[in-house]
Amino acid sequence: MMRVALAGFGSSGQTIHAPLLHEAGCDVVAVSTSDSARADAARRAGHRDGAPPRSPGTPPAPGVDLVVLATPSGGHAAQVRAVVDAGVACLVDKPLAVDADEAAAVVRYAASATVPLTVFHNRRYDPEHATVARVVADGLVGTPFRYEMRWERWRPVPKERWREQASATEGGGILLDLHSHLVDAAVQLFGPVETVFATVDARTTPAEDDAFLVCRHAGGVVSHLGATSLAGAPGPRVRLLGTEAAYVMADFTGEVHVWNGQADADPAHSGWLYRGDEREPVARGATTQADLYRAVSAALESPDPQAAMPVDPWDAVHTLAVIDAARVSAAQGRVVTVHTPTP
């Protein structure tokens, strides 16, 4: 059983990481938070207190196999370095850092210390993403040429939390929060992004709350990736166009939409394959986000834990390079080439 110290017990730590760790059969041996109310909540949930490493060589807790950083994004880079200095494997919530250069420096730092590092790109393990991946792998739409993915919400009054209230340099904004998932999903399906054109706006929050990216992949597919907090009519999550068919997914766990005609046929299916006015349901993938933690646990038992990690941290660096390029594109109104730092 993998023994885990969880740093951060806010929305992400309480409602995402802790439940998934338990589902995966991990032992959460310590929880650390600077908020007294959250500390009380952690104790009520049966967790004991434990301090994350704050200086080089300070262990996070005795007998810990993995430190999970479910903390505000602006502090990730420094906190990963502290975990590495303690010599404990680390999983950090996405984004790995606030920009690609900082993220690359962190990955190099962990590699030089031979401390395993991975990133919580949990949406790779959504059954919906597994469904799209099978649609692509099995050629169900023929040759794909356009991939549209949306994460749209109707939230005209921002929440009073750091994601909405922090600046981009502090880790706030929809690009680092939601486009980290959208870009990673597109890259997993269609390979690295070469160029980006983007529109980015901050309408209700200090950092952006509305962004749209047009990403051209090395293999030729073009991805349209949109996230906004100001969609009164949230669109279908996925539309994939190919030379022989189209795939449309409207339902997505935990999100609302207004496209009832494209609702899933039943729980065993996710989305529809369309050929004009004909359609057929597509079988739902069988993965769960807890599989990410199961894979991390297996990696730590392997001869080469870093190579076996389910998410290569350099993937997270590329995702941030795409986001960096999107910021430049939006500011300058032009297509921007993505430059990803290398090992």
SS3 string, the chain, reads CCEEEEECCCHHHHHHHHHHHHHCCCEEEEEECCCHHHHHHHHHCCCCECCCCCCCCCCCCCCCCEEEECCCHHHHHHHHHHHHHCCCEEEEECCCCCCHHHHHHHHHHHHHCCCCEEEECHHHHCHHHHHHHHHHHCCCCCCEEEEEEEEECECCCCCCCHHHHCCHHHCCCHHHHHHHHHHHHHHHHHCCEEEEEEEEECCCCCCCCEEEEEEEECCCCEEEEEEECECCCCCCCEEEEECCCEEEECCECCECCCCHHHCCCCCCEEEEEEECCEEEEEECCCCCCHHHHHHHHHHHCCCCHHHHCCCCHHHHHHHHHHHHHHHHHHHHCCCEECCCCCC
For CA atoms 82, 86, 87, 91, the dihedral sign is negative
Looking at residue 62, its pLDDT comes to: 66
Looking at residue 61, its pLDDT comes to: 59
- pLDDT tens digit sequence for 52-74: 444 333 456 568 999 999 999 99
CA distance 304 to 116: 9
Q: Which residue has the tokens 């529109």?
A: 199
How much is the pTM?
0.93
Q: Which residue has the tokens 């760790």?
A: 21
Kind of pairing, strands 144-152 and 222-228?
A: parallel
Number of Cβ within a 10 Å radius of residue 220 = 12
Q: Which residues of the chain have pLDDT under 70?
A: 46-62
**Torsion over CA of 112, 115, 120 and 122, rounded to 10 degrees?**
110
Q: Is residue 151 within 8 Å of residue 212, measured between CB atoms?
A: no
Looking at residue 53, its pLDDT comes to: 43
* Per-residue exposure over 45-63, b if at least 16 CB sit within 10 Å of its own CB, e if not: eebeebebbeeeeebbbee
List the one residue out of 213, 219, 263 whose CA is nearest residue 237: 263
What distance, in Å, lies between the first and last C-alpha atoms of the chain? 32
Question: Sheet containing 117-120: which strands, arranged edge to edge?
Answer: 27-32, 3-7, 66-69, 89-93, 117-120
List the one residue out of 33, 34, 8, 38 whose CA is nearest residue 21: 8
Looking at residue 318, its pLDDT comes to: 98
